[in-house]
Structure formats: C-alpha cells, structure tokens
Amino acid sequence: MTALRSRRVVISALAVCLALLGAALVVTLAVLPSSNKEEPFLKYEAESGLLQGTMVSQEGEGFSGSGFVTDFTDEQDQLTFEVVAPKAVLYNVWVSYRAPNGNKVAGISLNNQPHGELVLQPNDQFSELKAGKLLLQEGTNTISLTRGWGYYDIDYIKLQKTKPETKHQVSGELVNGNASAEAKKLMNYLVKNYGKSMLSGQTELDNVSWIEKVTGKEPAMVGFDLIDYSKTRAEHGAISYEVEKAIGWHKQGGITTFLWHWNAPTGIIDEPGKEWWRGFYADSVTFDLEKALSDTESEEYKLLLADIDTIAVQLQRLKDAHVPILFRPLHEAEGGWFWWGAKGPEPAKQLYRIVYDRLVNKHELNNLIWIWNSVQPEWYPGDDVVDIVSVDSYPTPGDHSPAINYFDNLVALVSNKKLVAMTENGSIPDPDLMKAYGANWCWFVTWEGDYLNDGKHNSQEILKKIYNHSNVTTLDELPDLFGMKKAVDKEE
Ligand SMILES: [Ca+2]
C-alpha cells in the first residue's frame, strides 16, 4: 500500500548555501522583561531576518516591530534567523504567525538540516504558537522557516531555555477494566520501558528479514492491517492472511499492532481513479459518516455496525490465540483524507466510541489496547476510551529530528498521563537526538516500500545505527512477555 503515502505533501530538502548570499545578517536581539527568575525570552523579528524569495510587508495590523515576512510561494522560499548561543542548550521556540486561509504547514530547518514541520492552525490575527524545541550549538546557529504549504505570514520568533523535564505520570491502567492478562502484561512492559528505550517497529511482516539482513537485528514490533477483511473488499475478492501472520509473529515473541484501512461499508464509487480498493479514501466513496450516524435506524448505520462485527471475528481469532493487540482504528482522522475524518471531529469521535463500545462490551475483545492517532484536542475522543496517543510522522526524507513538537503536543493532550507513540513514520527519529530533546517516543513503526528502503528516507547506515542503538529495543532484547521463548524450548 505504498500509494497510501502519495498524498503526503513532500517538502523537499533544502540544499541552500546561505553563505552564497553574502554576509549573514545578525538580527536584533531583544531581551524581554521576565519575572521570578524565569529564563528570559529572546525575540527575533522576522523583518530583520535573512530573506530568500520572501518579502517584508506592513499590510494589516497587529504585528510586532516594523513588519512581518510574507510571500512564501516558491519551493525555495524561506526566512532565516541567525541566533548566537553562549553554549549548547535546548530552547523552547514560539512563532508568531498569521494564516487566514486555512490550515498551513511550515518547514523548520536548524543549521541547514531539516528539523520537522510546524502545523499552523488558521487565524486572522497574528498569534504565538509553541513551535517545539531546538538544540542550539555553541556559537552561531541558523533557524529557517521553509515554505511547506506556503501562504502564511511570520511576525517573529521567540526562544527561551527549557526547564528540566517533568516526569511522566503514566499509570498504565487500561481503560477496559476487563483487559486480558496478556494485554495488561504488554502495557506494563511498555510503561516500564517508557522514557528509557524506543521499541523498533515495521509494517508488513515480510520486511523483517530485509531489516535483519541490513542491520543484524529484527524489529520488536510489526504493524498489520485489517484492510482486506473489510466487507466491501472481501466482496471484490480480497483475501487476507494478516491474522495468521500476526499469530506467527506473536509466537516468535514479537509485539503486534493493527490498524484498519476501513473500506467504507457502502457508497463505493469504483471507477478509474476511485477504484473499490481505494474505498477508505473520502474522495473515492459517497458514504457520508455524519449522515449515517444521524439515524440509527438507517441502512448506513446498520452497515457500519455490521462492518465492526466482521472485524470482531478476526480480532476474536487473535484473542483465542492470546495475542494482545495495540489497536489503532480510525487512524489519521484529523487529516480528513479518510471517510471517517472527512466530516470533522464530532462524527469521527462518535464512531470511535461506537467501535470501542461494540468491540469491548458486545464482543468482549479484552485483548485490545486502544490507540488514538490525532493530535488536536478537538479530535480527542476522551480519556475513558484511549490507552495510548500517537501520531504518524512523515517529515522531509532524511529528517531524523526527534519530532519534539508532536511529542510535546501529545504529552499535553493527555496531561502527561498516557503513553505517546509514533505509530507510523517515514524517516526514523535519531535516538541520540531523542535523548537530547527528551522526546520519549514509546515506539516507531516505519512504513514499507520507499520509506524503508529507498536509501533516502532511511539510509542503510542510519538503519544500522538505530537498530543497534542502546536506547532502541529490538526483538532479541524483548523480555519473554508471553512465555513464547519457553514454549519454543519445549518444542525443541
Ligand atoms: Ca515583526
């Protein structure tokens, strides 16, 4: 399913040599008043920055200083701040911006290396956004905002030295009071491991041997997909062996996670470009979730429940085999590209709660650990139905920064009381940077195809480094969570 990722907006890596632009401009540094021994804020006006393809404007009002920077329209357009740090220190960063024309994304580069992206919520007036953290080197650093989706205005950035991390307060108690012993055991392990080591993970069981060949190690976790068990795919002849594969993986002692590219229960368009197998994309179906949920007597509503029951049959097979599942239904809802997210947060949250209720209470699938996959607070279905929060991270290929912005936002979303995972990724975060930034991703799961093996998203060199890193857990380093190692000994 590599085509799944083609929708991603790819912000091409910057290979811009700022030195060519002549002597770099050192922007004015203003130390703002502070109180109670707080670290001072360092403020840098955009209009005093180094502009490349962008321009200063004074249009409208509410900006700080003498203007703001706009016109991020061409791919190479950017704004660069030069910041001198007395020593290597981790800073919090805020960006004051205006994006009146809907959701935008800006790229961030630190010292000419891509460093994640910044989601800019729509606003009509300039306002400050917490933009994550940056580990500045001693001496001169460059912080660049690169075009991304463009069409936003930048007023200034603000930096402040970070305070020591507050400890995570994750109890690990599962939301399902009847969770199975296996599920509890897995969760306890994840909680114990949180902040110490990141579990390595990979989609598609078939990729495990390639990873072992390249790195000498196997991932601790494999990601499976319920996609082809969806009724409207099975009706077209789709066949899946994901459950058999997952049971086999479990017997090797590995951890199992499932998502579900849920082909819509009805309303499949099935014409060129909108084929039946694209039936999880909002653009390939007429199925309207909001409408279906509005009438519990409707055919559409009943078909939704029937689909959940179909999936329950597969999850039951995993339950019977004592496989605990890190379960991630309705993924990437806030992206809006799947039908379950296309009608905004309310129907998505409502459907998530229906899926939870039906699988947990009706089907008694107590082997599931529940993962929610959207970051924005308005999309969060509630503490009572979520065990772990997560994001899917597809930065610029080769950007191995720790995605600290996503991490911090997820920690804040759950008041630091639930685990935080990177449930899909392109380029894997560098464990050394994760440590420096305090980005304690519980696990990562690299998507397949180019994301794993094109040498650009993840070079073989970095795969070797990550899979052999002391802060990354691989299959051989997992404890015998499910008594499988003993079972193998017995068979021998
Ligand atoms: Ca300004």
Does residue 150 contact residue 78 with C-beta atoms inside 8 Å? Answer: no
3-state secondary structure of 339: coil
Bridge partners, residue 255, by sequence: 221
Neighbours of ion ligand 1 (CB under 5 A): 45, 63-65, 68, 155-156
pLDDT of residue 11: 30
- What are the phi and psi torsion angles at 34 (to 5°)? -135, 165
Q: How far away, in angstroms, is 56 Cα from ligand 1 center?
A: 9
**Of 424, 477, 491, 492, which residue is the catalytic one?**
424
Does residue 266 contact residue 306 with C-beta atoms inside 8 Å? Answer: no
Q: How far away, in angstroms, is 149 Cα from ligand 1 center?
A: 21
Q: How far away, in angstroms, is 18 Cα from ligand 1 center?
A: 22
- The DSSP code for 18 is G
C-alpha distances in Å from residue 185, one per residue of 144, 175, 179, 283, 454: 44, 14, 10, 40, 36
Q: How far away, in angstroms, is 79 Cα from ligand 1 center?
A: 12
Per-residue model confidence as pLDDT tens digits over 161-174? 998 777 889 999 99
One-letter amino acid at 340 equals: W
CATH topology of domain 12-161: Jelly Rolls (2.60.120)
Q: How far away, in angstroms, is 66 Cα from ligand 1 center?
A: 6
Indicate if 332 belongs to the active site.
Answer: yes
Ranges in the chain, pLDDT < 50? 1-35
Domain range annotation of the chain: 12-161, 181-491
Q: How far away, in angstroms, is 155 Cα from ligand 1 center?
A: 4
C-alpha distances in Å from residue 390, one per residue of 225, 261, 284, 333, 431: 17, 17, 26, 12, 18
Tell me the C-alpha distance between 135 and 119, whole Å. 20
Indicate if 300 belongs to the active site.
Answer: no
Half-sphere exposure of residue 329, counting CA atoms within 13 Å on the CB side? 27
Cα-trace Rg, the chain: 24
Q: How far away, in angstroms, is 136 Cα from ligand 1 center?
A: 22
Question: What does the longest C-alpha to C-alpha distance in the chain come to?
Answer: 76
What residue spans of 216-255 are helical by DSSP H? Answer: 231-234, 242-251
pLDDT of residue 22: 33
Q: How far away, in angstroms, is 68 Cα from ligand 1 center?
A: 4
**pTM attached to this predicted model:** 0.86
- The DSSP code for 333 is G
pLDDT of residue 489: 63
What is the second-level CATH architecture of the domain 181-491? Alpha-Beta Barrel (3.20)
**Of 332, 334, 346, 448, which residue is the catalytic one?**
332
Tell me the C-alpha distance between 254 and 246, whole Å. 9
Per-residue model confidence as pLDDT tens digits over 62-77? 999 999 999 999 999 9
